[in-house]
Amino acid sequence: MQPNLNRLLRALAREGLDVTYDGRVYTVRLQRDAHAPPAEVLLPPDLPVEGKAFQQLAALAALKHPDGGAVKRVRATPDFHPGDSGVAIGSVVHTEGLVVPGAVGTDINCGMRLHVADIPVESFLARRDAFVERMKGHYFFGTRDVALGSRAVEALLRDGLPGWLVETLEQPLGAVARADLGQLDRESTRVYLGGALEGDPAWAPTGLRREGVVRDPGLASIGGGNHFVEVQRVEAVVDRARAWRWGVREGQLAFMVHSGSRDLGKHVGHTWQERARAAWPVGAPLPESGILPLADPALVREYLRAEATAANYAFLNRLLLAELLRLTLRELFGDVEAPLVYDVPHNITLPWEGGWLARKGACPAEEEQPVIIPGSMGAESYLMVGLGNARALASASHGAGRARSRFSMARGGADQREGALGLTGVDCITLRAERRIEEAPAAYKPIGPVVASQVEAGIVREVARMRPLMTFKA
């Protein structure tokens, strides 16, 4: 138990929260709402926790809509921390008869993608500078060629990756299309839900809906905050049989993409925050938490189509970010294979037991599904297998969790020496000096205990670990 835990629990009680702790799982309730379903959070001992995140979790569980529907259960992952829309990052909420746009937020289908490549790490590092120069062109200087046909864009937004692929095979455009579309086709089964959600192109901005050749500035761009593209080495394989089936072997080069739906998700998320407010029944008091659910079935349907549209865009964004990297490896190292291991969203609403499950910064951990948990740029990332743990709502953490805010890292008086930031030996490629500091390893909790607690709780099992070689941050 952490030393200041009792103090934290007393402080939360003064703020109207009942919190119990069984040494591993906290259960949170609003005192004035004893009928709310429990909100649970799994936390390893000795990690700092923030009171505000507990408050947000309890408020989410207590959420009601005057027209009916219900929150069935709330669970948070060990990396949970306060979110600025009122819902904590790391929240998983099961609802029936209502959907909560804020429980996904604006970063719709933020997620992880992992590839491996059979290139010796020494050969790769020997050409580090040439690789970095090419990738900087793609990611930072706009030299990437990701022209798309308007029919392919429409198919993407409506049907997801399979629709995009079919149209792109018909009318190949851009560097990615001139590469191996057949390989992308074979890999599509390694994308969560096939990367195919039912969207509505009307949600796209006009620039994306032009006729002819579409060059969207957001596609194949990393985005800010904790998003990144990282080249790694497979450091340890723990579950040899499963890793073999997934194509992962010790010593391989790997690369990991963490990105989402960029401006489209922001647009959809903000629009629906407003629409949920506008749809709130006249005369009913607005929830103090600012979390507004939708209950009207027609609105729920429309929201989910909008969310799915942004999600489809995010699937392609990650695919293109990875494809540019794969193409660059082929330029430098010949016809190398760099197969996809898995692509998985951690910010999305999906059907669940007759209702809905919204994950905000939580990785699906369904039985036999790959789970990708990134560490910081100075720590290992984990490839795990989900165990479908029902109490955890089949969800794992989406990282180690922030220990310190961006502000406190960059301007809050943090010790900014390389060693204190944990940046010694870290190869971070970015055009923004403050990004290295905001996202330095010292800004994150240690990933080891966060992962171990989830193994112990029967949520995931470890398959392999990857160590960073270089990290691209926008």
Instruction: Extract the annotated binding site for Mn(2+).
Output: 107, 227, 258, 346
Q: Of the listed pieces 196-204, 212-220, 277-285, 378-386, which binds DNA according to CB under 7 A?
A: 212-220
CA nearest neighbour of 465 among 382, 356, 364:
382
Q: Does 453 participate in binding DNA (rule CB under 7 A)?
A: no
Out of 55, 259, 395, 453, point to the residue binding DNA (CB under 7 A).
259
Cβ–Cβ under 8 Å, residues 468 and 231? yes
Token couple for 80 = 């949970």
Query: What are the helix (H) ranges across 343-474?
Result: 406-410, 418-421, 433-438, 447-456
Calpha distance 466→252 (Å, rounded): 9
Q: Does 110 participate in binding DNA (rule CB under 7 A)?
A: yes
Calpha distance 17→7 (Å, rounded): 13
- The 3-state DSSP class for residue 186 equals helix
Closer CB to DNA, 144 or 262, in the complex: 262
Closer CB to DNA, 97 or 111, in the complex: 111
Q: Of the listed pieces 31-39, 223-231, 246-254, 449-457, which binds DNA according to CB under 7 A?
A: 223-231
Closer CB to DNA, 209 or 249, in the complex: 209
Cβ–Cβ under 8 Å, residues 222 and 139? yes
138 catalytic per annotation: no
Token couple for 350 = 């999906």
Q: Of the listed pieces 190-198, 220-228, 281-289, 352-360, which binds DNA according to CB under 7 A?
A: 220-228
Calpha distance 469→234 (Å, rounded): 10
> Could you tell me the sign of the dihedral formed by the alpha carbons of 234, 238, 244, 245, in that order?
negative
Q: Of the listed pieces 48-56, 105-113, 233-241, 448-456, which binds DNA according to CB under 7 A?
A: 105-113
Residue 83 Cβ vs DNA, minimum distance, rounded to whole Å: 8
Q: Does 76 participate in binding DNA (rule CB under 7 A)?
A: no
Residue 132 Cβ vs DNA, minimum distance, rounded to whole Å: 21
Out of 77, 91, 168, 226, point to the residue binding DNA (CB under 7 A).
226
Q: Does 103 participate in binding DNA (rule CB under 7 A)?
A: no
Considering only residues 332 to 361 of the shown chain, the ones binding DNA according to CB under 7 A are: none
Closer CB to DNA, 253 or 310, in the complex: 310
Q: Does 174 participate in binding DNA (rule CB under 7 A)?
A: no
Closer CB to DNA, 221 or 471, in the complex: 221
Cβ–Cβ under 8 Å, residues 217 and 432? no
Token couple for 61 = 């569980």
Closer CB to DNA, 78 or 265, in the complex: 265
Q: Of the listed pieces 167-175, 229-237, 264-272, 286-294, which binds DNA according to CB under 7 A?
A: 264-272
Out of 227, 233, 359, 436, point to the residue binding DNA (CB under 7 A).
227
Calpha distance 78→447 (Å, rounded): 10
Out of 55, 221, 289, 395, point to the residue binding DNA (CB under 7 A).
221
Burial class (CB in 10 A: 0-12, 13-18, 19+), 41: buried
Which residues lie across from 381 on neighbouring strands?
Answer: 466
Q: Does 223 participate in binding DNA (rule CB under 7 A)?
A: yes
Out of 149, 160, 174, 218, point to the residue binding DNA (CB under 7 A).
218
Residue 54 phi, psi (nearest 5): -65, -40
CA nearest neighbour of 369 among 217, 242, 232, 207:
242
Closer CB to DNA, 248 or 442, in the complex: 442
Q: Does 262 participate in binding DNA (rule CB under 7 A)?
A: yes
Q: Does 263 participate in binding DNA (rule CB under 7 A)?
A: yes
Return the amino acid letter for 333: F
Packing angle, helices 150-159 and 161-170, rounded to 10: 160
Burial class (CB in 10 A: 0-12, 13-18, 19+), 63: buried
Kindly report the number of other CB atoms within 10 A of residue 68's CB atom.
10
Q: Does 84 participate in binding DNA (rule CB under 7 A)?
A: yes
Calpha distance 330→309 (Å, rounded): 32
Q: Does 225 participate in binding DNA (rule CB under 7 A)?
A: yes
Residue 375 Cβ vs DNA, minimum distance, rounded to whole Å: 14
Q: Of the listed pieces 189-197, 210-218, 286-294, 441-449, which binds DNA according to CB under 7 A?
A: 210-218
Closer CB to DNA, 26 or 444, in the complex: 444
Site string for DNA, 266-295 (x = CB under 7 A): x--x--------------------------
Q: Does 428 participate in binding DNA (rule CB under 7 A)?
A: no
Token couple for 314 = 């995010």
CA triplet 32, 37, 38: central angle to 5 degrees?
A: 90
Calpha distance 41→393 (Å, rounded): 11
- Using only the alpha carbons of the chain, give its radius of gyration: 22
Q: Does 380 participate in binding DNA (rule CB under 7 A)?
A: no
Q: Among all residues, which ones are annotated catalytic?
A: 398
User: Rule CB under 7 A: which residues touch DNA?
Assistant: 84, 89, 105-107, 110, 216-218, 221, 223-227, 259-260, 262-263, 265-266, 269
